Amino acid sequence: MKRLFLSLLVLAALVPVSAQVQLNPLFTDHIVLQRQTEVPVWGKAAPGATVSVKPSWSRKAETAQADADGRWSVLLTTPKGSFKKHTVKIDDGVEPVILQDVLIGEVWFCAGQSNMQMPMESWQAVRLNQEDIATSGQYPDLRLLQVSRATGLSERESFAADFGGWQPSSPKTVRNFSAIAWYFGRKLQQELKVPVGLIHSSWGGTIIEAWMSAGAISEFPELREKLAEVQSMAEGESAREQTFQDAVDALMRQAREEDAGLREHWERPSQPDADWPGIVLPAKIQTLWKGINGVYWFRKGIDVPAEWAGKDLTLSLGPVDDFDETYWDGEPVGSGSVWNLPREYTIPGRLVHAGKTVIALRNTDDHGDGGLYGAAEQLFVQGPDGRKIRLDNEWKVQLAVSFEYVPQNPAREPNRMSVLYNAMVRPLAPYRIAGVIWYQGESNAERAARYRDLMPTMVTDWRRTWGYDFPFLITQIANYHAVLPEPAESTWAELREAQSLTALHEEGVEQACIIDLGEAEDVHPVRKQEAGERLALLALSKRYYQSKVICDGPRLLSYVIKDGAVELCFRDVGMGLCTRPSGPYAEARYGKAAMDLDLVKQAESGVPTGFQIAGPDGVWHWAVAQIVPLKKPFGPQYVIVSSQEVLNPVAVRYGWADNPVCNLYNSAGLPAWPFRTDF
């Protein structure tokens, strides 16, 4: 027995030595490495092992010795960017790893909340993006890395990557990738003529504090107590995760036990549903059962053409929030559990018969909104001949189970101090990046004044994490909410101002203004191509020094009050200031109810709008604006604003509202930044 025990010890000691060298999940096939710089490569091996890293573009291998914990890292000097495919061999002397299809180009980190997360195909964006999704395979050297959503109560060394790591752009891989990031990357590749790598790390509905390190959070006295709460939770995180999962499992078991739909087989064609409520899909289920989470059953009868009988069909439902179990004539054909991923199932020919067929769907909504909420174009049955039966019409629906309580996950709640930095930012450093694009702020709008300090602190924080000052490109939050007929205060305007101040005062920080791309009734506007390309213009001008690129909208340079009016001086006007209507996007931008407002009518007719003026009493009035002809191309240009109701003006605002009606642009079609002179 003693000899056996010693033999087991020897074998145990050999296991790490014989194990394959481990790489950080950043390092997979199809990777893009930043060009013409020193790129860190790191991972784990057996303690004390010598690891060599040999790129195909160099005759020299870089070596490192793993420390007592098995950690190792090397620096590779990368060549010029090109579309030539390379390999990188990582060898610990036991079993080498060879990275294939390695490209050298530009790498950008893309992060934020839901408007950064918004995928190419999910939500309503599919209305505009279908053609680009279909042709996305034309850009195989645009590479995508999706960081899996996770929280960390302390800083993590590694992370999980969706889809196994880096993936070339293709219709399959871009469908669920960030739309704004993909359009940004495509524009860069088209202009720079080099491979582009995009690392996407975002989580909808999150506050900026979750994306900041504990050290950065500690600079804010009012946040220290909340940070201490998170740090005190660090021990036993996995146990709390298991407790939460057990609670969810128990809820799901209880739901199945209580579900009359399962007991009575509502998935079967024979199930009567004439007295069920009707709902026109796509729609959120809460339009019928407000505020209720639970289990819902959807049913839809269709007529299958005779020529489709016995042949495989495609059933597309768009995204289902949160879980679905889908049936075709009573037979299960697919299920899904990710709320924002489109469902697409193959119906095997053995189940397909001509004539009346019933599609049934068991939808479990465990929090927030539920239902089939994508775009109308995503709901269909398609036959082998390409014809489609549309499903964006009336279905029958019934509530089967109502949840009185839904478990909350203390280990995975994203809106805690530092938890997203710990799990979704810190593990990526010091991977060499060209810069960051950032789209977040909506969740901080009610504390907009504090964002003035939080945003620049986070920029400094991330740069400190990486060890160098990379460009940081901010997407200013878009217009949202109902248009107000009279001037009013606005926390969303204050949040935009905080973002503008960061861009104006922090070195290497720029801002893309998208005040014209939002929608009155949807916090997730669909026009992500314009937003991504505006960010790309900033990168091309500020990071890649393409001097002919106009990258900024008009910005207030100075102002003078005289003769009962205010003379505003703008920079970044290009060939001159102008007004532009929203045209076909006007109703989405302002909301149907606002289309009869004189303010909107004036903006759409070309009258300069969006300016407010106030006197010593602090009461704001709409101003009449006159664009003064430009004296010299690319020079400063003036706008004179006044109001008969304000004889002694002291301050001016522009675009100052949650959803401002404003229409001032430069010759490049970029909108003027909102501002106020009295902050």
* pLDDT attached to residue 126: 65
Residue 3 binned pLDDT confidence (cut-offs 50, 70, 90): very low
**Nearest alpha carbon to residue 180 among 619, 435, 420, 530:** 530
- pLDDT tens digit sequence for 424-461: 999 999 999 999 999 999 999 999 999 999 999 999 99
- pLDDT tens digit sequence for 147-170: 999 999 899 999 999 999 999 999
Pick 406 or 507 by higher pLDDT: 507
The mean per-residue pLDDT over the stretch 555-583 comes to: 97
d(C-alpha 293, C-alpha 322), whole Å: 10
| Domain 1-216+412-475 is found in CATH 3.40.50 | yes
Pick 506 or 548 by higher pLDDT: 506
DSSP string of 603-657? HHHT----EEEE-TT--EEE-EEEEPPPSSTTS-EEEEEEBTTBSS--EEEES-S
Q: Are strands 380-382 and 313-321 parallel, antiparallel or unpaired?
A: antiparallel
The mean per-residue pLDDT over the stretch 38-56 comes to: 97
The mean per-residue pLDDT over the stretch 385-389 comes to: 96
Residue 410 binned pLDDT confidence (cut-offs 50, 70, 90): low
Res. 368: pLDDT tops 90: no
What percentage of residues in the chain have a pLDDT greater than 70? 96
- pLDDT tens digit sequence for 526-568: 999 999 999 999 999 999 999 888 999 999 999 999 999 999 9
Query: What residue spans in the chain does CATH classification 2.60.120.260 cover?
Result: 256-402
- Which residues, 6+ apart, have CB-to-CB distance to 418 below 8 Å? 209, 210, 212, 213, 214, 217, 227, 230
Q: What angle do CA 666, 670, 675 make, to 5 degrees?
A: 85
46 with 17: CB under 8 angstroms?
Answer: yes
* pLDDT attached to residue 407: 79
* pLDDT attached to residue 82: 97
- Which residues, 6+ apart, have CB-to-CB distance to 73 below 8 Å? 40, 41, 42, 43, 64
The mean per-residue pLDDT over the stretch 192-207 comes to: 97
The CATH fold of domain 256-402: Jelly Rolls (2.60.120)
Residue 123 binned pLDDT confidence (cut-offs 50, 70, 90): low
- Indicate the average pLDDT of the chain: 93
Residue owning tokens 């790489």: 23
* pLDDT attached to residue 5: 33
Residue 19 binned pLDDT confidence (cut-offs 50, 70, 90): low
Res. 235: pLDDT tops 60: no
Query: What residue spans in the chain does CATH classification 3.40.50 cover?
Result: 1-216+412-475
d(C-alpha 599, C-alpha 573), whole Å: 24
What percentage of residues in the chain have a pLDDT greater than 90? 87
